Chains A and B, each alone.
Chain A
Amino acid sequence: MQFLERNLPKIMLAPSFLAVLIFVYGFIAWTGWVSLTRSRLLPRYDIEGFIQYERLFDSPRWDTAFGNLFLFGALFIGISMILGLVLAIFLDQNIRAEGAIRTIYLYPMALSMIVTGTAWKWILNPGLGLEAMVRRWGFEDFRFDWLVNSDMAIYTIVLAAIWQSSGFVMALFLAGLRSVDGEIIKAAQIDGIPTWRIYSAIIIPSMAPIFLSAFIVLAHLAIKSFDLVIALTGGGPGFATDLPATYMFSMAFSRGDIGQAASSAMVMMGVVFAIVVPYLYSELRAKND
C-alpha cells in the first residue's frame, strides 16, 4: 500500500508515457523504417536503402510539391508577419472599439480550413465569383482566374491561409506590444522621440522572442497545410498546388504506394525537425538557466 502511494505519480504518468513512446516515437520509427524498403501496396520490412527517397526526388510531382512548400511557406509566413505586426501597431493607438475590431480580425482562426477553403473557392471561381462580378460592373476584360490557372493557383492558397492566420499573428504581436515596459516608452515620448522611432528602435527590437514564436507557429501551420489545399484546389489544376502533405496523403490512400508515402512523411518530419528542434532546445535551456 505504501509502495503504491509512493509511486502513484509514476503510475499515473505511465499510460501517457507509454502512449507517447508508441504512438509518437514508435510510429515515427516505423515510418522511417518503411521508408527504407520497397513497400508498395503493403508494407515490407527488408531494408533496401534510400531507393524511396531517390524515387521521391526524381518525381516531378514531388518536385512541385516540395517547391510549393517553400514558395507558399515564405509568402504565407512573411506576409502574415508583416500584416500582423502592422495591424497590431495600428490597434495599439488607443483605437475606439478595439475589442470589436480585434474580434473581427481573429475569428477566421476559429474556422476549419475546410470551411475557409470552401468559402474562398466560391469567391475565387471565375465563372460566378469575383471575376464575373467585376466584369458585370463593366470591366469586360477583367481577369482573375488564379484558381484555375496552374501558374497562379498556389497564390490563392497563400491568400486564404493569410486570411485565416494573420489575425492570430496580430493578437500575438498586440500582446507583445502591451507587455513592453511603459516607463521606457513614456520617457522616450517626453524626450520628444517620434512615435515611429519609438516603435522601430525600442518596442519592436524588444519583441524578438514573439517574432520567433510567431515564425514557429506559422512555419508549423505551413508544413501541416493539407485541409486548405484539399478544399480550395484539391491539389490542382493538375498537381500545381500539391504540397508535401497532399502528396503524402495521395500516395498513402489513393495510389497505394506506402514507400513513397513514408519517405515523403519523413522528409516533412525532417523539415519540422530543422525548424523546431533548435527552438525547443533554446526554450528549454532558457528555462533551466
Chain B
Amino acid sequence: MTDAAFTNTPARTQGKAVTVALRWLLYVLLIAFALFYLAPLFVMVTTSLKSLEEIRTGDLIALPREVTFDAWATAWSGACTGIQCEGVRPYFWNSVLIAVPAVLISTLIGAINGYVVAQWQFRGANVFFALLLFGCFIPFQVVLLPMARMLGLMGIAGTIPGLIFVHVVYGLGFTTLFFRNYYVSIPSELVKAAKVDGAGFFRIFWSIFLPLSLPIIVVTVIWQFTQIWNDFLFGVSFSQAGTQPVTVALNNIVNSTTGVKEYNVDMAAAIIAALPTLIVYVIAGKYFIRGLTAGSVKG
C-alpha cells in the first residue's frame, strides 16, 4: 500500500492534472469575483480624476489620460446641493457632529444596560431585553411620523441634537445586545465576591467590567459609527437645510438638476462620503466583521 501510493501510475498523473486544473479554475473565479467587487470603486476613483471632457469622450473603465483633482475640490467646497453651492464640506462636519456624540452616548448607555441585564438579574429584566431586541428589527418607517412630531414638541426638530437623540434611541437595542452578550459570559461569582467585599454597582462596573470590555467597546463603536455615518432615512427625515448629514448632501448633489451634470464631482463627493467608514473598515476590519456577525446572528 505504501509503495503503491507513491508510484505515478497513468491514472494518478491524470488525477493530479485534473486537480491542478481545478485549482486554476478556482483562482480564476475568485479573481473574477474580486474584480466584480472592486470595479465600482475603481470606476468611482478614475471618474473622479477625469475632466468632464474626458468622461464624455473616453471609456468608463479607462484610466484618466490626464489626472486632475478639480472635481475633488469642487465636491469638497463648491458643488451645489440645490440652491446652496458649498460642496459636501459643511455636511461632512454635520455628520461628524452627529456621529461622534451619538456613538459615545449610545455605547455608554448600552454598556450599563448590558451590565444590568447580564449581571443584575431582577424580575422584568428579561422582558426589557426581549422588548429591546424586537426593537432592533422594526422598520423605522413605523416610527418616522410620531418621531417627527415628538422632535417638534421637544423643540429639537431639524437640529443636530435632534438627530443625535434619534440615533441614540434607536441605537440602544444593538449596543445593549452587544454588551449583554459579552458580559453574560463573565462568571456571576465575580459580582457576588465583589459585593461581599463591599463594592457597589458602579464600583464593580468601573473596576471589574470596564477593564475587560475593550474588545466589545471597539466592536460597538465601529458598528454604531458605521450605522450612523451611513444613515440616510433619519437624516433626510429629521434635518433641514443647514443640518443635513453628508449622505443627504451627496444625494442632493447627484440629483441636483441645475447646470451641467458633473459626473466626476458626483464620484468625488461619493468617495468623500464613503471615506470615513472605509478607513475604519480597512484599519479595524476584524472588529467590523465581528460586529456584523454578532449584531445579526446572536439573538
Interchain residue pairs with CB less than 8 A apart (16): A5-B201, A9-B201, A12-B113, A19-B172, A28-B143, A31-B142, A107-B278, A112-B273, A118-B251, A118-B269, A210-B297, A217-B296, A227-B233, A265-B145, A269-B142, A280-B299
B152 interface residue (CB < 8 Å to A)? no
A23 touching B143, Cβ below 8 Å: yes
> Does more than half of chain B's interface fall in helix, strand or loop, or is it mixed?
helix
A108 touching B139, Cβ below 8 Å: no
**Segment touching A, from B1-9, B37-45, B77-85, B207-215:** B37-45
What B residues does A16 contact at CB under 8 A? 109, 113, 128, 132, 172, 176
A51 interface residue (CB < 8 Å to B)? no
A110 touching B280, Cβ below 8 Å: yes
> Does more than half of chain A's interface fall in helix, strand or loop, or is it mixed?
helix
B182 interface residue (CB < 8 Å to A)? no
Q: Which of B130, B202, B274 contacts A111 (CB 8 A)?
A: B274
How many whole Å from B281's CB to the nearest CB in chain A? 4
**Cα distance A279–B59 when bound, in Å?**
48
Scan B116-158; emit 1 where CB is below 8 A from any A CB, else 0.
1100101001001011111101111111111101100000000
A59 interface residue (CB < 8 Å to B)? no
How many whole Å from A280's CB to the nearest CB in chain B? 6
Contacts A112-B273, A128-B56: A213 and B296 contacting too (C-beta < 8 A)? yes
A24 touching B139, Cβ below 8 Å: no
How many whole Å from A140's CB to the nearest CB in chain B? 16
A91 touching B43, Cβ below 8 Å: no
Contacts A234-B255, A252-B144: A119 and B44 contacting too (C-beta < 8 A)? yes
**Cα distance A190–B242 when bound, in Å?**
67
How many whole Å from B294's CB to the nearest CB in chain A? 11
B232 touching A226, Cβ below 8 Å: yes
B233 touching A171, Cβ below 8 Å: no
**Cα distance A81–B147 when bound, in Å?**
35
**Cα distance A131–B174 when bound, in Å?**
42
What B residues does A123 contact at CB under 8 A? 39-40, 43, 60
A72 interface residue (CB < 8 Å to B)? no
Contacts A118-B270, A121-B254: A27 and B146 contacting too (C-beta < 8 A)? yes
A253 interface residue (CB < 8 Å to B)? yes
B258 interface residue (CB < 8 Å to A)? no
A172 touching B293, Cβ below 8 Å: yes
What A residues does B270 contact at CB under 8 A? 114-115, 118-119
In the complex, chain B residues 233-263 whose Cβ is within 8 Å of any chain A Cβ = 233, 236-237, 247, 250-251, 254-255, 263
What A residues does B285 contact at CB under 8 A? 103, 106
Determine which residue in A26, A107, A258 has the highest number of CB atoms from chain B within 10 A of its CB, and name it: A107
The 9 closest A-B pairs by CB, nearest first: A283-B299, A112-B230, A9-B120, A110-B281, A227-B232, A27-B143, A24-B135, A265-B141, A27-B146
A17 touching B128, Cβ below 8 Å: yes
A8 interface residue (CB < 8 Å to B)? yes
In the complex, chain B residues 2-48 whose Cβ is within 8 Å of any chain A Cβ = 23, 26-27, 29-30, 33-34, 36-41, 43-44, 47
Chain B residues close to A by CB (< 8 Å): 23, 26-27, 29-30, 33-34, 36-41, 43-44, 47, 55-56, 59-61, 109, 112-113, 116-117, 120, 122, 125, 128, 130-135, 137-147, 149-150, 169-170, 172-173, 176, 200-202, 226, 229-233, 236-237, 247, 250-251, 254-255, 263, 266-267, 269-271, 273-274, 277-278, 280-282, 285, 288-289, 292-293, 296-297, 299
What A residues does B138 contact at CB under 8 A? 24, 28, 269, 272
How many whole Å from B262's CB to the nearest CB in chain A? 11
What B residues does A284 contact at CB under 8 A? 130, 299
**Cα distance A268–B139 when bound, in Å?**
7
B266 touching A118, Cβ below 8 Å: yes
How many whole Å from B62's CB to the nearest CB in chain A? 9
A230 touching B254, Cβ below 8 Å: no
Chain A residues close to B by CB (< 8 Å): 5, 8-10, 12-13, 15-17, 19-21, 23-28, 30-31, 34, 43, 87, 90-91, 93, 95, 101, 103-116, 118-123, 128-130, 132-133, 136, 163, 167-168, 171-172, 175, 210, 213, 216-217, 220, 223-224, 226-227, 230-231, 234, 244-245, 248-249, 252-253, 258, 261-262, 264-266, 268-269, 272, 276-277, 279-280, 283-284, 287
Contacts A87-B33, A110-B280: A175 and B293 contacting too (C-beta < 8 A)? yes
